[in-house]
């Protein structure tokens, strides 16, 4: 399991076996109850074979290390962000999904049909339903795609549709304005030049080098210049519309989000697709990705955890995951997110392979 944003390794290496057990038990109990945990509760609940007084001393040691804290002097203790990080990175034991849970996830993802947008929308609803958190899916990053072909299609005298198809089978179209119509011959000639010089490159590479690659093209200069001038529109992607979320009502029910102002700020930052997409694009690597509390750079989600994973369509990647309070059942949720990412990769890869045949 790959986890990013690891904690200070010393916070874990200095822990004794007893401290590890007490921390894990405290976090597991707190996740299930949302109540601060005292030494007596741990002693009675987990039967560790040590006295309540010994556990109390251990909790004091954990507090000095910054792994737990007391919200009030008379209360029990709760995990800190660093405590959760040690737990996730070193003490977590992922819970395996049952065959029935796997079947439900796969069947539900395909429930709304086989279009990519339908699958992404349904996936975030499945994640929300099965985890009781906020489900999030982000569409594939198109600029990683390798160009398969480009088509120029006239739709009126002053408008031209540019259709970009990448090797994974995904396609997108962009409308550009033209001052005058071009003949079919001119369109076919320019189309051939573009495909000859650009096919096999990623859309990101094309955007950076388009002017150079087309600088010596003879003839049809007006249309070539138009294509070059429109490169930001043709080869760039607006990520703000590529995010799907479901399960806002799940967060509202949780005690951490009883403040309506906080929950509204959280939903606003999540619904701003570009903000969340850019954050995950810059941080995520292949495999599971977890950020906890203040590891999130946005104030609105500093009391949340994100558990996300990449899915793949050929060489293009997107992101799925869940957002919820730091007090979440990581042992179960990491298994759900990982399996769902694997499933959506298989489903979308099969879908695009059918399109290519």
pLDDT tens by residue, 44-103? 999 888 999 999 999 999 999 999 999 887 779 999 999 999 999 999 999 999 999 999
Quote the distance between the C-alpha of residue 333 and its chain's center: 14
pLDDT-based confidence at residue 328 (cuts at 50, 70, 90):
very high
Task: Give the C-alpha separation, 1 to 316, whole Å.
Answer: 21
User: What does the pLDDT look like over 214-247, one tens digit per residue?
Assistant: 888 887 888 888 888 888 888 776 555 578 889 8
Query: What are the residue ranges of CATH 3.30.450.40 in the chain?
Result: 99-141+239-356
Query: What are the residue ranges of CATH 3.30.390.60 in the chain?
Result: 143-235
Closest CA to 50 of 60, 36, 40: 40
At residue 1, the pLDDT reads 47
Mean pLDDT, residues 34-44:
93
The correct answer on CATH 3.30.390.60 for the domain covering 143-235 is yes
At residue 6, the pLDDT reads 47
At residue 8, the pLDDT reads 57
At residue 238, the pLDDT reads 59
Task: Give the C-alpha separation, 4 to 126, whole Å.
Answer: 25
Q: Which fold has domain 10-91?
A: Arc Repressor Mutant, subunit A (1.10.10)
Pick the CATH number of 99-141+239-356 from 2.60.40.420, 3.40.50.300, 3.30.360.10, 3.30.450.40: 3.30.450.40
b (16+ CB within 10 A) / e for 178-199: beeebeeeebebbbebbeeebe
Query: What are the residue ranges of CATH 1.10.10.10 in the chain?
Result: 10-91
Residues with Cβ < 8 Å from 74, sequence gap 6 or more? none
Residue 13: its H or E element: helix 10-13
User: What does the pLDDT look like over 8-30, one tens digit per residue?
Assistant: 556 677 799 999 999 999 999 99
Long-range Cβ pairs for the range 211-216 (8 Å, 24+) = none
Count other Cβ atoms within 10 Å, centred on residue 292.
Answer: 27
Closest CA to 326 of 117, 52, 71, 133: 133
At residue 43, the pLDDT reads 93
pTM of the model: 0.81
């Amino acid at each position: 399991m790959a986890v990013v944003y690891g904690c200070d390794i010393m916070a874990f290496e200095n822990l004794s076996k007893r401290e590890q057990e007490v921390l894990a038990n405290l976090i597991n109990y707190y996740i299930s109850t949302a109540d601060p945990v005292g030494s007596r509760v741990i002693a009675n609940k987990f039967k560790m074979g040590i006295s309540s007084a010994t556990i109390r001393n251990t909790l004091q040691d954990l507090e000095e290390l910054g792994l737990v804290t007391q919200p009030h002097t008379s209360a029990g203790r709760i995990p800190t962000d660093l405590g959760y990080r040690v737990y996730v990175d070193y003490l977590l034991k992922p819970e395996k999904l049952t065959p029935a849970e796997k079947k439900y996830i796969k069947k539900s993802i395909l429930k709304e049909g086989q279009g990519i947008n339908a699958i992404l929308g349904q996936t975030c609803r499945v994640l929300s339903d099965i985890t009781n958190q906020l489900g999030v899916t982000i569409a594939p990053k198109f600029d990683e795609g390798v160009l398969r072909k480009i088509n120029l299609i006239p739709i009126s005298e002053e408008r031209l549709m540019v259709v970009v198809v990448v090797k994974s089978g995904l396609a997108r179209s962009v409308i550009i304005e033209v001052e005058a119509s071009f003949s079919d011959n001119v369109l076919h000639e320019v189309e051939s030049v573009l495909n000859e010089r650009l096919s096999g490159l990623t859309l990101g590479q094309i955007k950076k080098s388009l002017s150079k690659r087309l600088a010596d093209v003879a003839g049809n200069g007006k249309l070539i210049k138009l294509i070059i001038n429109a490169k930001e529109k043709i080869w760039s992607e607006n990520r703000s519309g590529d995010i799907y979320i479901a399960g806002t009502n799940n967060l509202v029910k949780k005690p951490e989000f009883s403040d309506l102002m906080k929950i509204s700020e959280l939903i606003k930052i999540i619904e701003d697709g570009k903000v969340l997409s850019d954050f995950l694009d810059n941080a995520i690597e292949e495999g599971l990705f977890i950020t906890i509390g203040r590891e999130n750079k946005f104030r609105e989600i500093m009391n949340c955890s994100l558990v996300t994973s990449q899915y793949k369509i050929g060489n293009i990647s997107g992101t799925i995951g869940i957002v919820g309070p730091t007090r979440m059942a990581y042992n179960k949720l990491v298994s759900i997110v990982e399996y769902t990412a694997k499933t959506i990769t298989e489903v979308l890869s099969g879908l695009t392979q059918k399109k290519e045949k």
